[in-house]
A and B are shown apart, each in its own frame.
Chain A
Amino acid sequence: MPPPQLDTRPPATRTERRVGSLEILAGLLVLLVVFRGPLSDLVSGPALSTWTTVFVSVLVQAAPFLAFGVALSAVIAVFVPRSFWARALPSHPALAVPTAGLAGVVLPGCECGSVPIAGSLIRRGVTPAAALAFLLAAPAINPIVLTATVVAFPGRPEMAVARGLASLVVAVLIGWLWLRLGKTEWIKLPHRPELDTLPQWQAFWAACRHDVLHAGGFLVIGAAAAATINVVVPEAWLTSLAANAVLSVLALAVLAVLLSICSEADAFVAASLSQFSLTSRLVFLVVGPMVDLKLISMQTGVFGSRFASRFAPATFVMAVAVGTIFGVVLL
């Protein structure tokens, strides 16, 4: 089918949008190919070249974890009926919280995937406390992320164990805290028709496409930030922070929030921060999947700003405290 036919379809009311994203993409690609030489020269300086290498390598390393996480979470989002989750949970809210947290084990994906799923759980009548416990636990304790953690810390499987346990404890505590203090009116869910109206396989590929672009886009930001820190921050400076036990924990907790790396890839970044103590790197791994810039923005989008402004700080404090305790005891 010749593509020009498509351009005749939009009616006169849409003339102002004639330059669509596809045309922008095509133009961008032509420019990139034309200016390939100067671009390569631009990144041939040693610092910039190292930046590019680290940036690309974080993405290449994370890509399989991202892809399989997205595919599996699309399978579960499309082929497992959502009513199943509501049936599977105990009816008493205080019991539903740890159950939902543990359910995160079977829902592999990174945090970007679990935000919309938690939203739809609430929509399906699951108590918000349980859905929130699930939201926090799923990105950190699922098999893909724990496998990535084992791979990233060769010879130190206790890191993955501590990460799973600490994340589960934080998720359950936050769920119970919501039962005591939370107010339902803080949560404002937007209308989301999407996947339910499509045939199953089409919904599956739609979920894959959306999650790869969304999570992948944020992963690019994270990889760029990680590469920048890798190249710009002198090792001696990081080492001086790393030497102080309290400062190193706080520094990596803040770094986890700023870097916003997908939980499927963050273990590899933590492994590269080898000057820091294992406890502070554990805090990095516990905080990262629960609170970071992209999650705060996604939570604001899905649950509303009144929710996100309370939920994120509470989770941050809880994650730092619990992560530190587990690090001191287990590592």
Chain B
Amino acid sequence: MNKLTQGVVLLLFGGAILRASVTDLYLRYVKEGLRPFLIATGVLLVTAAVMTIWYSFRESASSSPDDHGHEHHGPGVGWLLILPVLGLLLVAPPALGSYAANQAGSVVAEPVGGSDYPPLPAGDPVELGLVDYASRSLFDAGQSLAGRELSLTGFITVAPDGSPMLARMVLSCCAADGRPIKIGLDGRAPIDVPADTWVRVTGVHTGRTSKDPVNNVDVAYFDVRTWQEVAEPKQPYA
């Protein structure tokens, strides 16, 4: 790999990072807070690439042919940087979905500071996060949920017994540590869409629970009254 090639590879890598961070593509892989650092990284890499290409043109314009034999060859392992470029520019893999959700056990919804749950915000139905719902349902016996119409958004994943569940991936840092939060679906409205379809379900709390077969964690259930297909949200992770 000569200097000019190294410069082009750097340009592609920096450009791919830059493109992912100025569009919303990066939200499929990392958390929102990383964005300014990703943009700065892209700018730095592109600058390094431009300088490399500039120097290599200047060198080849000024050096005698004999000097070419001493041209520094960069690390061959650098070729591999083509792979993330390919991944980001050409393939752009989707956010983690039902496959990842089925492979890993549901996160343990932690009780929020003892048993005191703040009352639900206003709204009818109330929009609630899956982790919040599971936490209120499992650790507060659903007391703060009683008597309210609720609405949850997530993708459909199929439990080992064939019944559909509502899930969303929870990131602590990037998609590599993504773990699912799963909610069982009860009620009379049958959800017959394929896995990975995003839906918004509306209904009420139910006291039913079960165990996630993967890691034996309690799973809360939701009593679905109505549901509708929705587009994947801009921020796919919980």
Contact = CB atoms under 8 A, between A and B. Distances in A.
Interface in B5-32: 5-10, 12-13, 17, 20, 26, 28-30
A234 B105 CA distance: 11
B99 A50 contact: yes
Given A43-B93, A56-B29, A205-B55, A217 B80 contact: yes
Contact of B38 (A43, A63, A209): A63
Nearest to B213: A236
Given A213-B77, A214-B75, 12 more contacts: A1-B61, A10-B65, A22-B4, A28-B82, A53-B175, A60-B20, A64-B37, A209-B52, A213-B9, A221-B77, A239-B215, A272-B173
Contacts of B37: 64
B188 interface: no
Contacts, number: 205
A83 interface: no
B25 to A, nearest CB: 9
Interface residues of A, number: 72
Given A36-B90, A49-B93, A56-B93, A274 B177 contact: yes
A217 B77 CA distance: 5
B193 interface: no
A227 to B, nearest CB: 7
Interface of B: 1-10, 12-13, 17, 20, 26, 28-30, 34, 37-38, 40-41, 44-45, 48-49, 51-52, 55, 57, 60-61, 65, 68-69, 72, 74-84, 86-88, 90-91, 93-100, 103-105, 172-177, 179, 214-215
Nearest to A43: B91
Nearest to A269: B176
Contact of B68 (A9, A32, A59): A9
Contacts of B103: 50, 231, 234-235
A296 B14 CA distance: 28
B96 A209 contact: no
26 contacts: A14-B68, A21-B1, A22-B8, A25-B82, A39-B91, A50-B97, A52-B91, A55-B87, A59-B84, A60-B84, A61-B30, A63-B38, A71-B44, A152-B173, A205-B55, A209-B10, A209-B74, A213-B75, A213-B78, A214-B78, A216-B78, A217-B76, A217-B78, A226-B176, A272-B177, A274-B179
Nearest to A52: B93
B15 to A, nearest CB: 12
B22 to A, nearest CB: 13
B103 to A, nearest CB: 6
A40 interface: yes
Contacts of A9: 60, 65, 68
B176 A227 contact: yes
A210 B9 CA distance: 12
A32 B84 CA distance: 13
Interface of A: 1, 6, 9-11, 14, 20-22, 24-25, 28-29, 32-33, 36, 39-40, 43, 46-47, 49-50, 52-61, 63-64, 66-68, 71, 151-152, 154, 194, 202, 205-206, 208-210, 212-214, 216-218, 220-221, 223-224, 226-227, 230-231, 234-236, 239, 268-269, 271-272, 274
B176 A58 contact: yes
Given A63-B41, A67-B41, A210-B74, A235 B10 contact: no
Contacts of B90: 32-33, 36, 39-40
Contacts of A58: 174, 176
B6 A216 contact: no
